[in-house]
Amino acid sequence: MSIAVIAAIAVFLGVLFILFHQQQKEHKLSRLVLIGLILGSAYGFLMQSYFGVDSQVTAEALSWIAIVGGGYVALLKMVIMPLVLVSMVAAVVKLDKGGSLGKISSLTIFILMATTAVAALIGILVTSISGISAEGLIAGSRETAQMAVLDTKAASIADLTVPQMLLSFIPVNPFADLAGARSTSIIAVVIFGILLGIAARKVMHEKEQLESPIRTFVEGAQAIVMRLVKMIMALTPYGIAALMAKVVASSSGADMLNLLGFILASYVAILLMFVVHGMLVAMVGVSPLDYFRKIWPVLTFAFSSRSSAATIPLNVEAQVTQLNVPPAIANLAASFGATIGQNGCAGIYPAMLAVMVAPSMGIDPLDLHFMLSLIAIVTISSFGIAGVGGGATFAALIVLPAMGLPVAIVALLISIEPLIDMARTALNVSGSMTAGTMTSRLLKQTTENQTAEQQ
């Protein structure tokens, strides 16, 4: 290890020490996350400016810094499946009315799908107005290397029908799904947890002597898992600092300039969809500014981690403690939102790519039939998109062939994919939290109402 690498690591340790010192002052998590974001970004910028993106020093230093960022993400992923399973069981066991769960699930999924359709429409309009197309893109060596891989993926996905996609949600092997073996594992665990909860309710009804032990066990398990989530959340500022350091230090300015038009158009579309989320929560009586202020730490982590699934624990905790969403609704919205109706990855991105490619195929992207068909396919195909980095690529590989369009555009944009994926992931998470917030208000089920009823 060179002296330069040791010095770079030492500087980052100094960043972590500053964060630790600030944490001892008992600042709010949002403030600590902001400090971590600024310090991590500044560190990454200095690394890139001093050593360069492709420097061996940068690569080696970031490999050590990844222990902090990657370790934090790994801890969050560790708690996802236990959190989802226990929360779903607890949600069903604690329900007072058997029909409530069906209403919650149906309304949550409807909101997720509806917002995805709106996101697709925004993607179509922004791309058309900006005038960007696929005709001027030239494939570099890295993009060319991706072509064969994407063609293989597209061939395997093309034969996947909607019924087959829906069947993939069924937990054939719950243990494999708890290990995250499939892209639809989270939804499968949600279904398994709901069925387990229903079975527990039936046992409680049939054998009254077991009601108290079952409730105690479920409440105890949920309390332990939530305490674990809070322990991991305390590490958020450190994880954010490490993740942003890597993002900034490893981002190529040349890649950004080559396709700046598409990057800007993507961010405009994403920003407009955030405005839509603000308008939707305002419709149910929640201040948009207050809403975004409360969920900002969660969006920051989603932005830097590029993983909707890894954000589930923070998503649930913020909905429950900051937005007064009952745990049952919060868990369903966060879990469903990680794989169904992702506004950024499954909504905006594939719609934009389709509009970019359409003119080269002699198709008018503003043709009403084309637009309606694209929105419908985007909305339906948004079921089961994996809530991790790369989910947008999977969505595009479903939508483009379904519209009769080539998938090569996906490979041509591979160099700037991470730069856009960060904002898309934040939008995905905001969409799931918007669904949870709206569902709780529309059904008049908030923690404030529940507390008032108990009093």
Segment 232-260, tens digit of pLDDT: 878 888 988 898 888 788 766 655 555 67
Say what the pLDDT of residue 139 is.
46
Mean pLDDT of the chain: 82
The confidence score (pLDDT) of residue 412 equals 60
Q: What is the mean pLDDT of residues 414-439?
A: 86
Answer yes or no: are the C-beta atoms of 244 and 41 closer than 8 Å.
yes
Q: How many Å separate Cα 50 from the centre of its chain?
A: 33
DSSP 359: G
- For 414-424, letters b (16+ CB in 10 Å) and e give bbbbebbbbbb
Alpha helix stretches (DSSP H) within 207-311: 211-233, 236-250, 253-258, 260-283, 288-305
Measure CA of the first residue to CA of the last residue in the chain; give whole Å.
63
- CA-to-CA distance for 32 and 38, rounded, in angstroms? 10
pLDDT at 451: 52
Max mean pLDDT among 208-217, 278-287, 361-370, 397-406 falls in 278-287
Is residue 345 within 8 A of residue 116, CB to CB? The reply is no
Amino acid at 11: V
What integer pLDDT is reported at residue 183 of this predicted model?
64
Return the higher-pLDDT residue of 397 and 137.
397
Mean pLDDT for 409-417 is 63
Closest CA to 104 of 334, 314, 282: 334
* Least confident window among 64-68, 190-194, 304-308, 392-396: 392-396
- The mean per-residue pLDDT over the stretch 343-369 comes to 87
Q: In whole angstroms, what is the distance from residue 22 CA to residue 32 CA?
A: 7
Least confident residue range of 24-33, 365-374, 407-416: 407-416
Mean pLDDT, rounded, for 33-54: 87
Per-residue confidence (pLDDT) for residue 54, from 0 to 100: 78
pLDDT at 437: 95
Give pLDDT tens digits for 180-220.
777 667 778 878 988 998 899 899 989 989 989 998 998 89
Q: How many CB atoms lie within 10 A of CB 313?
A: 28
- At residue 142, the pLDDT reads 47
Q: Which carries the bigger pLDDT value, residue 126 or residue 346? A: 126
Give the whole-angstrom CA distance, residue 430 versus residue 189: 22
**Does 386 have pLDDT greater than 50?**
yes
CATH 1.10.3860.10 fits 3-454, yes or no: yes
State residue 391's pLDDT score: 65
Residue listed under structure tokens 């108990």 = 454
Cβ neighbors of 454 (< 8 A, separation 6 or more) are: none
pLDDT in tens, 144-178: 445 555 555 555 545 556 677 677 778 889 899 88
